[in-house]
Amino acid sequence: MFDQMPNQTPETVRLLVNGVAVEMPAGSMVSAAILKTGATLFRRSLTGEPRGPLCGMGICFECRVTIDGEAHCRSCQTICRDGMDVHTDG
Amino acid sequence: MDRVRYECDVAVVGAGPAGLAAAFRAAREGRRVTVVDDNPDAGGQIWRGEKTKPRSPEARVWFERIRSVDIQLIAGARVFAQSGPGKLLAETPRDVCELAFQSLILATGARERFLPFPGWTLPCVMGAGGLQALVKNGLPIEGQKVVIAGSGPLLLAVAAYLRERGAELLLIAEQTSSLKLARFGLGLVSKSSQALDLRRRLKGVRYLTDCWVAAAHGYQELDHVTLYRGGKRWSVACDYLACGFHLVPNLELAELLGCDIRNGAVSVDEFQQTTVPGIYSAGESTGIGGLELSIVEGEIAGLSAAGNRDEATRLFSTRAKHRRFADLLNRTFALRDELKSLAQPDTIVCRCEDVVFDRLRAHDSWRAAKLQTRCGMGPCQGRICGSAVEFLFGWTPESVRPPILPVRVESLLSE
């Protein structure tokens, strides 16, 4: 009950960030994948300022991005999955 | 939308060291234990990623212990409201859970305190723990130039971690004075092996006391920072600024449940019980004290919640020892007043609503500022700016209302 890992865990997963393919170790978060592609702007603030992750633990909501069409996902609390399609505010 | 229902004797919110220690102790007493945590996996911040690959001896021991008992873990679940006496609601990416319990242990941990300074909202300016979490979560840091700044022992732990992963540490800027730090050093006797270990891992890294970041600069992302020390200013080019000013307890859930808060922490009795009977709290939520204190408080809470007060009492002396260290720690890293003048009139304080310092100055309370400026009313609900305005203006937080986090509409409408 304590361990909920799937039966087969691949070593790495591949996803798309703003159309750029990136490979991450299994278990990585989407926030790390985004930064790995060189993108640092995750969202635009109310007044249009660029923003990126701050707290890294799901509290600040600054790392929100669109994942598989769903807006406002906290990328620091979302584990990378194969084939994921991630978009930042750009 | 249907709720997924869980029933247990002891519910634990938070799967960090305090929560896991509490869960283990209660389960060993024969209680049915369910642990819920917002993060995708157990470990909290300090043991992030260590459930499958433990790095520290403490993590190895506690994950082994937790596997030796029968415990249910619901990860990725954020508790957002109370649905009735002895019942909490939590949202997962898939559904809404209702958790019914006899007693409850709040081990909600702490977050970093952030202080606003010009440029602190730029991408690549993060918390110290924030950057560490990102690296633990897969961000390659090798060869990246990092400045670490703020206050507290976390800066050193983060520095050592990042260095081992190949980061180029330019310097660590600690706001507290060398005098206070020297006194703290003397108080470190009980922790000397940890201190020596850190010193070895950080050999050759510049550690400046009485020093802080006055501003971060860059177009669209961080380019360089201005450091300040003893009347001198200089700039340092870097890829990341990891900046956090010690820690503050996460209190929202305790407040929602009506537990008294004293001196910015959940108020508990000697058995770690809050002012609400049947609700206990352990770890950083009851005051910042570090790993060892969190663990022993968790054990006491777990035993007490399971009704074994005799066994709990045996751990009181260990807790007292770690509390003395915690007091020393918090005195050492208390923030200096000069940091109140870092924010400029146009510096953003509330990042969710883009409220600048100048607009807040005009008000005399959190409530007035919220009503007039929406400060603290965005998605983070004051979790980031709250501790900053408390330090800058002396305003105490407002009462908490459900939902304590943004949730999906269907979660609120679930039955």
- Tens-place pLDDT, residues B390-408: 999 999 877 677 778 777 8
Is the distance from CB of B247 to CB of B265 less than 8 angstroms?
no
CB nearest A24 (choices: B121, B129, B138): B138
The yes-or-no verdict on residue B186 having pLDDT over 70 is no
- Tens-place pLDDT, residues B31-80: 999 999 999 899 999 999 899 889 899 999 999 999 999 999 999 999 99
Q: How many CB atoms lie within 10 A of CB B108?
A: 28
The yes-or-no verdict on residue B164 having pLDDT over 60 is yes
pLDDT (0 to 100) of residue B234: 98
Quote the CA–CA distance of B8 and B172 in Å, as a whole number.
46
Quote the CA–CA distance of B145 and B167 in Å, as a whole number.
6
pLDDT (0 to 100) of residue B191: 62
pTM score, two decimals?
0.93
Which pair of tokens denotes residue B5? Answer: 């229902």
CB nearest A47 (choices: B114, B354, B406): B354
ipTM above 0.90, yes or no: yes
**Cis peptide upstream of residue B345 (ω within 30 degrees of 0):** no
Which pair of tokens denotes residue B411? Answer: 């979660």
Asked if A15 is an interface residue toward chain B (Cβ–Cβ < 8 A), one would say no
Asked if B403 is an interface residue toward chain A (Cβ–Cβ < 8 A), one would say no
- Tens-place pLDDT, residues B278-296: 999 999 999 999 999 999 9
CB nearest B39 (choices: A3, A46, A77): A77
Asked if A34 is an interface residue toward chain B (Cβ–Cβ < 8 A), one would say no
pLDDT (0 to 100) of residue B236: 98
Question: Position of tokens 């509409």?
Answer: B409
Interface contact A36-B112, CB threshold 8 A: no
φ/ψ of B360, rounded to 5, equals -80, -35
CA contacts within 13 A on the Cβ side of B11: 24
Contact residues, chain A, for B132 at CB < 8 Å: 56
CA of B376: which chain A residue's CA is closest?
Answer: A60
Return the H-helix or E-strand segment holding B237.
strand B232-237
CA of A70: which chain B residue's CA is closest?
Answer: B93
Q: CA of A86, closest CA in chain B: separation in Å?
A: 16
Is the distance from CB of A58 to CB of B381 less than 8 angstroms?
no
Mean pLDDT of chain B: 93
* Better-scored residue on pLDDT, B349 or B400: B349
- Tens-place pLDDT, residues A11-44: 999 999 999 999 999 999 999 999 999 999 999 9
pLDDT (0 to 100) of residue A4: 59
The yes-or-no verdict on residue B211 having pLDDT over 60 is yes
Asked if B40 is an interface residue toward chain A (Cβ–Cβ < 8 A), one would say yes
Q: How many CB atoms lie within 10 A of CB B413?
A: 9
